[in-house]
A and B are shown apart, each in its own frame.
Chain A
Amino acid sequence: MIEFSVLNISKKFNKKFVFENLSFQLSDSNSIAIIGKNGSGKSTFLKICAGVLSPFSGNVEIKIGSKNIDKTNFFLHIGFVAPYLQLYDELTPTEHLEFCCNMKNVKFSKSVIEKVLEEVNLENRKNDFVRTFSSGMKQRLKYATAILHKPEILILDEPTVNLDKDGCETVKKIVEKQIQNGILVYATNNLKEENFSSNVLNIEKNNS
């Protein structure tokens, strides 16, 4: 039983509110789409949900079973993919995933990594430097790092950006699997992506 509560979040940049009092509450097998025009604060909101940016006011809580998860341990339960998430140019996919395994208490083994790379269709480049990757390949690797630890909550910002047809299929599979097992939160400008979830939060409407 997982509960993800995002309550009354407001965020200010330079003394101006980007948004005020955004809330949602999700439990197992729920999902939500965040929409709104460019600059409405979708990415900012997702970063706050993931616990990497502090809100001006409001609270983010994760409850697993009856246990409240401490803020510093959020990363163990969250997977995050976004266009502004940068990978290390001088590391290979294997090294990225090894780092993620180690930091998130996933037992590191060749087969674990091969399996997740197969899932995103990147296994033939597993020992090349990320420096040599195309933006679509980087996006695939971001998915691998996000789903490696089978997070309870998956947060996606513009899920299929840079991806080809085959990549979009992969994302669709990942999204469907996530909704079966956990929680999905995503933001999008793409009409095609909006039907990933029946639950939609339009943040600009809330604002006015």
Chain B
Amino acid sequence: MSFVFYVFKKDFHSELRNRYSINSLLMFVMITISIVLFGIVSETSDSLVLSGVLWIVIFFSSMTGLSRSFVNEEEKGTTLFLQLNSKPLHVFLGKFLLNILLMLFINCVTILLYFFFVSDFQVKNFSIFFLTLFLGTFSISLSSTFIASIVAKANTKGALFPILSFPILIPIFISVISATKISVEGKSFSFASSDFQILISYILVIFSASILFFDFIWKE
């Protein structure tokens, strides 16, 4: 387990030190929320629309933030160094750990801004809301890390990531949006339980797939 942490630490230093874009990600979130404010939010107070818009913001900030994880290594040619110093599984889990912490941080900021600026968006059941946020962030980070590892090997890296992510992430978004809506409407926990079941089984499936296939992806 500690090996995972060492990969995480290496990435944390090398990627976040100067180049990596926590600041630009935060700017991105702010800009998207302002556009949303100017655009549709003043026109509607429908809880389904507002929940959808929140997850659109989260979707695009994860697309911007997470696609870099393996692409950076591949573009700079440092993949070989990692291969010579670690087991594939540790690399995957280390990158996943960095991605999920990064996304949890960014998403908390997003939520705070959203609460603050979009006054019509009022969560009544916070336990559902935060569980949704956590499971959503977890599954988006997990599948994005996996997709990024595949995309890094392709020639058209930049364009491929959102295209490949879309079908894979769709089930997540359907469930998180529906669960978020339930939390805004203040219904009880049992209404959201089927969404949570979907998210959890989804996480289990992607997790097993990543562990099984990452060895092959990692070593050409």
In the complex, B124 has a CB within 8 A of chain A: no
A103 touches B78 (CB 8 A): no
Q: Is the CB of B85 within 8 A of A84?
A: no
Interface residue A1 (Cβ < 8 Å from any Cβ of B) = no
Asked whether A80 lies within 8 Å of B84 as measured between CB atoms, the reply is: yes
- Find chain A residues with CB under 8 A from B3 CB: 102-103
Knowing A53-B220, A86-B80, the reply to whether A95 touches B13 (Cβ < 8 A) is yes
Q: How many A-B residue pairs have CB under 8 A?
A: 68
Tell me if A99 and B85 are in contact (CB < 8 A): yes
A87–B81 Cα distance when bound, in Å, is 7
Given A52-B219, A85-B84, residue A103 in contact with residue B6 (CB < 8 A): yes
Distance in Å: Cβ of B17 to nearest Cβ of chain A: 5
Q: A90-B14, A103-B6 are in contact. Are A85 and B87 (CB under 8 A)?
A: no
Residue pair B80, A102 in contact (C-beta under 8 Å)? no
Shortest Cβ distance from A52 into B: residue:
B83
| Residues of chain B with a CB closer than 8 A to A53's CB | 219-220
Query: With the chains together, A41 CA to B18 CA distance in Å?
Result: 37
With an 8 A cutoff between CB atoms, is B77 at the interface? yes
Checking A54, A73, A78, A89 against B84 with a beta-carbon cut-off of 8 angstroms, the contacting residue is: A78
Q: A88 to B81, Cβ gap below 8 A? A: yes
Total interface residues in chain B, CB < 8 Å: 27
Q: Compute how far the CA of A89 lies from the CA of B76 in the bound complex, rounded to whole angstroms.
A: 9
Residues of A within 8 A of B83 (CB): 52, 75
Q: Which of A75, A84, A90 touches B13 (beta carbons < 8 Å)?
A: A90
Decide: A90 and B219 in contact? CB cutoff 8 A: no
Please, which residues of chain A bring their CB within 8 A of the CB of B7? 103
Does B21 count as interface, using CB distance less than 8 angstroms?
no
B186 at the A interface (CB under 8 A): no
Tell me which residues across on chain B come within 8 A of A87, comparing CB atoms.
Answer: 78, 81
CB distance from A43 to the nearest CB of B (A): 11
Number of residues in A with C-beta < 8 Å to the partner?
25
Distance in angstroms between the alpha carbons of A95 and B76 in the assembled complex: 18
B52 at the interface (CB under 8 A from A): no
Secondary structure class of chain B's binding surface, majority of residues? helix
Q: Are B81 and A104 in contact (CB under 8 A)?
A: no
**When each residue 1-41 of chain B gets 1 if its CB lies under 8 Å from chain A and 0 otherwise, what string results?**
01100110110011101110000000000000000000000
Docked complex: A55-102 residues within 8 A CB-CB of B: 72-73, 75, 78, 80, 82, 84-91, 95, 99-100, 102
CB-CB nearest in chain A for B90: A103
Asked if A156 CB lies within 8 Å of chain B CBs, one says: no
Q: Report if A50 contacts B (CB, 8 A).
A: yes
Bound: A182/B2 CA distance, A: 29
Nearest-CB residue, chain B, relative to A92: B13
Chain B residues with CB below 8 A from A78, complex form: 84
Shortest B94–chain A CB gap in Å is 10
Q: CA of A86 to CA of B215 in the docked complex: distance in angstroms?
A: 21
Q: Contacts A53-B219, A75-B83, A75-B85 hold; do A86 and B13 have CB atoms under 8 A apart?
A: no
What distance in Å separates the Cβ of A158 from its nearest Cβ neighbour in chain B?
Answer: 15
Give A33 Cβ to nearest chain B Cβ, in Å.
21
**Is there contact, CB below 8 Å, between B85 and A52?**
no
- Give the distance to chain B from A193, nearest Cβ to Cβ, in Å: 22
- A residues whose Cβ falls under 8 Å from a Cβ of B: 50, 52-54, 72-73, 75, 78, 80, 82, 84-91, 95, 99-100, 102-104, 145
Q: List 19 interface pairs A-B (beta carbons < 8 Å), by A numbering.
A: A54-B220, A72-B87, A72-B88, A72-B215, A75-B83, A85-B81, A86-B76, A90-B15, A91-B10, A91-B13, A95-B13, A99-B6, A99-B9, A99-B85, A102-B3, A102-B6, A103-B3, A103-B90, A145-B85
The list of the 5 closest CB pairs from A to B, nearest first, reads A86-B77, A102-B6, A90-B14, A52-B83, A88-B14
